[in-house]
Amino acid sequence: MKKKLLLLIAIAGFSAAVSAQEKGDMYVSGNFTLEGGNSRNTVGNVVTKTPATLTFGIAPQFGYFVMDRLEVSISLGYTHNRYNNGTDNDGNNLFRKTNVFEISPGVKYYVPLAEKFWYTPGFDFGVGFGGNRREVDRQTTVKGGITQFSLNLSAVAFEFRPSEHFGVTLRAGGLTYTMDRTSSKGSTGTSDVDNEFSFKINTGASIGFRYYF
């Protein structure tokens, strides 16, 4: 009798665990990036500093379970990049700056592996728009536009939910396709359009955190 009771309790506990990602559950998450620096070169009494690429990005994310184990999400992001564009005749640093706003909807399905541990394959795509400014010299700046499009498939993804309101996600690798279109128009009326395409298998790993409410 005791063994049957313990078995029923274990089954009930596992059922509660695997039904944790239920219809109506919501969470907030997101990404924050800040990278920068510079290099310093000394030749005799001459010191030259070269700024590295500066990156600032923020992308809050909201997710909602439209049905048990099926999650849809949306992320709204902003990214600013400042690239070194050489120097002018007086040795002043010149830069190219980009600003991009992006919206990224996605979907994931939760497969229970153990208590509080899930396999979470998913798919998302992103569309971004923005502008770029390139300094030719201290008086001349070339302006243009940026259009981005990306597709991402996460095949190796998991989530551990140690408590009711807290989740830890792990993503290792995936398939990514990106398209980046940059246009610019000079003061003399000339214009340039650059299109870049890439398809890659990403083997990097990332860890994220979620708050459920």
> For residue 20, what pLDDT band results from cuts at 50, 70 and 90?
low
Stated length of the chain: 213
Closest CA to 161 of 3, 11, 29, 1: 29
| Domain locations in the chain as residue ranges | 2-212
> For residue 10, what pLDDT band results from cuts at 50, 70 and 90?
very low
Report d(CA 108, CA 122) in Å as an integer.
Answer: 4
Report d(CA 76, CA 190) in Å as an integer.
Answer: 33
Could you say which architecture CATH assigns to the domain 2-212? Beta Barrel (2.40)
Extract the tokens encoding 123.
């798919």
pLDDT for the residue 104: 96
The arithmetic mean of pLDDT across residues 108-128, rounded, is 95
Q: State pTM to two decimals.
A: 0.76
Strand partners, 31: 59
pLDDT tens track for 154-213? 989 999 999 999 999 998 878 888 888 888 776 555 566 667 777 777 667 889 999 999
Return the CA Rg of the chain: 24
Full 3-state SS string of the chain: CHHHHHHHHHHHHHHHHHCCCCCCCEEEEEEEEEECCEEEEEECCEEEEEECCEEEEEEEEEEEEEECCEEEEEEEEEEEEEEEEEECCCCCEEEEEEEEEEEEEEEEECEEEECCEEECCEEEEEEEEEEEEEECCCCCEEEEEEEEEEEEEECCEEEEEEECCEEEEEEEEEEEEEEEEEEEECCCCCEEEEEEEEEEEEEEEEEEEEEEC
pLDDT at residue 101 above 60? yes
